[in-house]
Chains A and B, each alone.
Chain A
Amino acid sequence: MFDFEFGEDLELIAETAKGFATDALFPKLREHERARAVDASVRASYAEMGLAGLELPESLGGAELGPLARVLVNEELAAGDAGAALALDPLGPALYPLLEIGGEDAVREFALPLLETDGARAIFLDAADAELEVGTTVTGSVPWVPSDRADLLVLLRDDDAIVVRDGITTGELRGSGMRAAGASELTLTAAPIAARFEGRAGAARSRARARLYMASLLVGVLRQAADFSREYAVEREAFGRPIAHHQGLTFLIIDMLAAVDGARLLLHEAAWRLEHGAAGEAAAAAAYAEAIEASTLIGPNAVQILGGHGFMQDYPVEKYMREARAIGLAIGGLDAAREDAWTALADADCHVQLSHLEVAQ
Chain B
Amino acid sequence: MNFEIDESIQGPLAALRERGRNEARPIGLEADRLGRPIPVGDPYFARLIARGEGRTRWRGPDGEKKARSKPKSAGSRPSRRTVKTLLFVEELAYWDRGVVVANPGVGLPEANVIAMGTDEQKERFLGPFLAPDRPRWACFAMTEPGAGSDAAAIQTTARRDGDHWILNGAKCFIGNATRSDWILAQATLDPTQGRDAQRAFFIEQGTPGLGGFRIEKKMGLKAYESTSFTLQECRVPGANLLGGEARYEKRDGFKGAMKAFNAGRPVVAANAVGIGRAALDEALAFAREHDRLADPRVRDRLERAARKLKLSRLLCLKAGWLADREKPNIIEASMCKLVAAQVGQEATSLGMELLGTVGARGDHLIEKLYRDVKALDMVEGTGQIQRIIMARQLVGLPR
Listed in ascending order, the chain A residues whose CB lies under 8 Å from chain B are: 1-7, 10, 68, 230, 233-234, 242, 244-245, 250-251, 253-255, 257-258, 261-263, 265-266, 268-269, 272-273, 286, 289-290, 338-339, 341-342, 344-346, 348, 350-352, 354-359, 361
Contact (A265, B314) CB under 8 Å given A254-B387, A358-B5? yes
Contact (A356, B1) CB under 8 Å given A250-B395, A253-B395, A342-B299? no
**Could you give 6 example pairs across A and B, Cβ below 8 Å?**
A245-B396, A254-B391, A258-B339, A261-B332, A346-B293, A351-B281
Query: Which of B102-110, B126-134, B189-197, B300-308 is found at the contact surface with chain A?
Result: B300-308
The 7 A-B residue pairs with the shortest CB-CB distance, nearest first, are A244-B395, A265-B314, A354-B310, A3-B2, A262-B311, A342-B303, A254-B387
A290 touches B394 (CB 8 A): no
Given A355-B310, A361-B4, 10 further pairs, Cβ under 8 A: A1-B9, A2-B3, A4-B321, A244-B396, A251-B387, A266-B314, A345-B303, A354-B310, A356-B314, A357-B5
- Please name the residue on chain B nearest to A243 by beta carbon: B395
- Please name the residue on chain B nearest to A359 by beta carbon: B4
Kindly count the residue-residue contacts between A and B in the assembled complex, taking CB atoms under 8 Å apart: 149
B4 touches A234 (CB 8 A): no
A42 to B324, CA, bound (A): 42
A233 to B398, CA, bound (A): 14
Q: Is B222 at the interface (CB under 8 A from chain A)?
A: no
- Please name the residue on chain A nearest to B398 by beta carbon: A245
Q: Is B335 at the interface (CB under 8 A from chain A)?
A: yes
Interface magnitude class on chain B: 35 or more
A254 touches B390 (CB 8 A): yes
User: A3: which B residues are within 8 A, CB to CB?
Assistant: 1-2, 321
Instruction: Determine how close the nearest CB of chain B comes to the CB of A264; give it in whole angstroms.
Output: 9
Q: Is B210 at the interface (CB under 8 A from chain A)?
A: no
User: B83: which A residues are within 8 A, CB to CB?
Assistant: 1-2
Could you tell me the dominant secondary structure of chain B's interface residues?
A: helix
- Please name the residue on chain A nearest to B310 by beta carbon: A354
Q: Is B284 at the interface (CB under 8 A from chain A)?
A: yes
Instruction: Determine how close the nearest CB of chain A comes to the CB of B369; give it in whole angstroms.
Output: 14
B307 touches A272 (CB 8 A): no
Contact of B1 among A6, A230, A250, A352 (CB under 8 A): A6
Instruction: Determine how close the nearest CB of chain A comes to the CB of B260; give it in whole angstroms.
Output: 18
User: A273: which B residues are within 8 A, CB to CB?
Assistant: 3
Instruction: Determine how close the nearest CB of chain B comes to the CB of A286; give it in whole angstroms.
Output: 5
Instruction: Determine how close the nearest CB of chain B comes to the CB of A338; give it in whole angstroms.
Output: 5
Most buried by A among B1, B293, B296, B318: B1
A348 to B299, CA, bound (A): 13
Instruction: Determine how close the nearest CB of chain A comes to the CB of B9; give it in whole angstroms.
Output: 8
A1 touches B5 (CB 8 A): yes
B394 touches A2 (CB 8 A): no
A342 to B280, CA, bound (A): 13
Contact of B307 among A255, A266, A359 (CB under 8 A): A266
Contact of B306 among A2, A5, A345 (CB under 8 A): A345
Contact (A266, B310) CB under 8 Å given A261-B335, A272-B1? yes
A2 to B395, CA, bound (A): 30
User: A4: which B residues are within 8 A, CB to CB?
Assistant: 1, 317-318, 321-322
Instruction: Determine how close the nearest CB of chain B comes to the CB of A310; give it in whole angstroms.
Output: 17
Q: Is B388 at the interface (CB under 8 A from chain A)?
A: yes
Instruction: Determine how close the nearest CB of chain B comes to the CB of A103; give it in whole angstroms.
Output: 27
Q: Is B177 at the interface (CB under 8 A from chain A)?
A: no
Most buried by A among B2, B80, B285, B302: B2
A357 touches B302 (CB 8 A): no
A265 to B285, CA, bound (A): 28
A357 touches B4 (CB 8 A): yes
A255 to B334, CA, bound (A): 12
User: A344: which B residues are within 8 A, CB to CB?
Assistant: 306
Q: Is B6 at the interface (CB under 8 A from chain A)?
A: yes
Instruction: Determine how close the nearest CB of chain A comes to the CB of B323; give it in whole angstroms.
Output: 12
User: B6: which A residues are within 8 A, CB to CB?
Assistant: 1
User: A7: which B residues are within 8 A, CB to CB?
Assistant: 1
User: B397: which A residues are within 8 A, CB to CB?
Assistant: 244-245, 250
B303 touches A338 (CB 8 A): yes
B321 touches A262 (CB 8 A): no
- Please name the residue on chain B nearest to A346 by beta carbon: B293
